[in-house]
């Protein structure tokens, strides 16, 4: 069974940093691109970042470019999102998703909550 | 960036109703369009990819249609478990973008 397990969320002060992780199992992790998607409280879905299977290509939403870094460790079947210079508007549940290219985003992790507040 | 719009933003329906949600892209995206269902406190679940292909395990009461800029999601006979928020997403080009969502609740 394909599973994604998000972790690493928590309370952080404005300007602080946090690293999220997404542990993958049940599929050949290294051949799939992966994405992070977030959802602010009571709001819709916002794509945040994507990374190719090898990790050689990365893509970011303008709202996080220069502050967030997506990476992966294919030996550990784990996806990461390093977040820095955090702002109140980054408060959200963050989900990782397996990007099946033409097959779309499926499945998603269960999400991890990041709260940016003093 | 490609902007995605959805209509309606919300709708009230009864069990057994047929409902259709519309999604429009600000420019052509071929058929790189997905639909997701999200229930409160849960992760989104993929229903449809490539505009009209059903994800494995998704019941056939869900169907998708369209190409280019105009797309629809239809639920042929609403059941209690189908009351949720539905999002479309374009994955033709970065940044991938989602529609604002359509909340389907019980009349």
pLDDT digits (tens, 9 = 90+) for B28-41: 999 999 999 999 99
pLDDT tens for each residue of B6-23: 999 999 999 999 999 999
pLDDT at B107 > cutoff 90: no
A1 inside 8 A of chain B by CB: no
Whether A27 has its CB under 8 Å from any CB of chain B: the answer is: no
Band (B68; pLDDT cuts 50, 70, 90): very high
Nearest-CA residue of chain A relative to B101? Answer: A44
Res B106: pLDDT: 87
- State pLDDT tens for residues A3-48: 999 999 999 999 999 999 999 999 999 999 999 999 999 999 999 9
Contact assessment for residue B88 and residue B3, using Cβ atoms and an 8 Å cutoff: no
Task: Write out chain B residues lying below 8 Å of A111, CB-based.
Answer: 43
The percentage of chain A sitting over the pLDDT mark of 90, rounded to a whole number, equals: 99
Of A46, A59, A107, the CB nearest to B98: A46
Which of A45, A50, A100 lies nearest to residue B44, judging by beta carbons?
Answer: A45
- Cα B65 to Cα A99, A102, B25, B58, B84: the distances in Å are 21, 16, 14, 16, 20
Nearest CA in chain B to A44: B100
Average pLDDT over residues A60-72: 98
Q: What is the DSSP letter of B50?
A: T
pLDDT tens-digit readout, A75-88? 999 999 999 999 99
Strands (E), A17-91: 18-25, 33-39, 45-51, 58-60, 68-73, 78-83
- Interatomic CA distance for residues B40 and B52, integer angstroms: 25
The per-residue pLDDT of chain B, averaged, comes to 97
Q: What is the pLDDT of residue A1?
A: 95
A62 and chain B in contact, CB less than 8 A: yes
User: What residues in chain B have their Cβ under 8 A from chain A's Cβ atoms?
Assistant: 32, 34, 36, 38, 43-46, 49-50, 55, 87, 89, 91, 94-101
Report the alpha-carbon angle B17-B22-B28, nearest 5.
155
Residue A58 phi, psi (nearest 5): -135, 155
For residue A100, which residues of chain B lie inside 8 Å, CB to CB?
Answer: 49
Q: Which of B67, B63, B1 minimizes the C-alpha distance to B29?
A: B67
């Amino acid at each position: 069974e394909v599973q994604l397990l998000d972790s690493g969320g928590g309370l952080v002060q404005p300007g602080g940093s946090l690293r999220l992780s997404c542990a993958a199992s049940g599929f050949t992790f290294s051949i799939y691109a992966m994405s992070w998607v977030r959802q602010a409280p009571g709001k819709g879905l916002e794509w945040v970042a994507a990374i190719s299977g090898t990790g050689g290509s990365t893509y970011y939403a303008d709202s996080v470019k220069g502050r967030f870094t997506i990476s992966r460790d294919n030996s550990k079947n784990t996806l990461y999102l390093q977040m820095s210079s955090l702002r109140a508007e980054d408060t959200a549940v963050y989900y990782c998703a397996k990007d099946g290219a033409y097959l779309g985003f499926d499945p998603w992790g269960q999400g991890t909550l990041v709260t940016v507040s003093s | 960036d490609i902007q995605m719009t959805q209509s309606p933003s919300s709708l009230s329906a009864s069990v057994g109703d047929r409902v259709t949600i519309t999604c429009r892209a600000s420019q052509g995206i071929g058929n790189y369009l997905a639909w997701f269902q999200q229930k409160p406190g849960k992760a989104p679940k993929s229903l449809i990819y490539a505009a009209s292909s059903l994800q494995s395990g998704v019941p056939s009461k869900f169907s998708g249609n369209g190409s280019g800029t105009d797309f629809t999601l239809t639920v042929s006979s609403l059941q209690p478990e189908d009351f949720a928020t539905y999002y479309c997403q374009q994955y033709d080009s970065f940044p991938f973008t989602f529609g604002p969502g359509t909340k389907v609740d019980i009349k």
